[in-house]
Amino acid sequence: MIVIFVLTKSTLGRDLGDHFIASYITLIIYLASIKVVNDSLFFKKSNIIKAAEKYSKSSLSESQKDAILDQLCRVMKDEEYFANNMASLPQLSKKIGCVSHHVSQVINERLGKSFFEWMAELRVEKAKELLSQNENQNITIEELAERVGYNSKSSFNKAFKKHTSQTPTQFKNSL
3-state secondary structure 78-116: HCCHHHCCCCCHHHHHHHHCCCHHHHHHHHHHHHCCCHH
Encode pLDDT of 53-77 as tens digits: 777 777 889 999 999 999 999 999 9
Asked if residues 141 and 168 have their Cβ atoms less than 8 Å apart, the reply is yes
Q: Please state the pTM of the whole predicted model.
A: 0.69
Residue 111 CB neighbour total at 10 angstroms: 18
Encode pLDDT of 41-53 as tens digits: 666 666 666 666 7
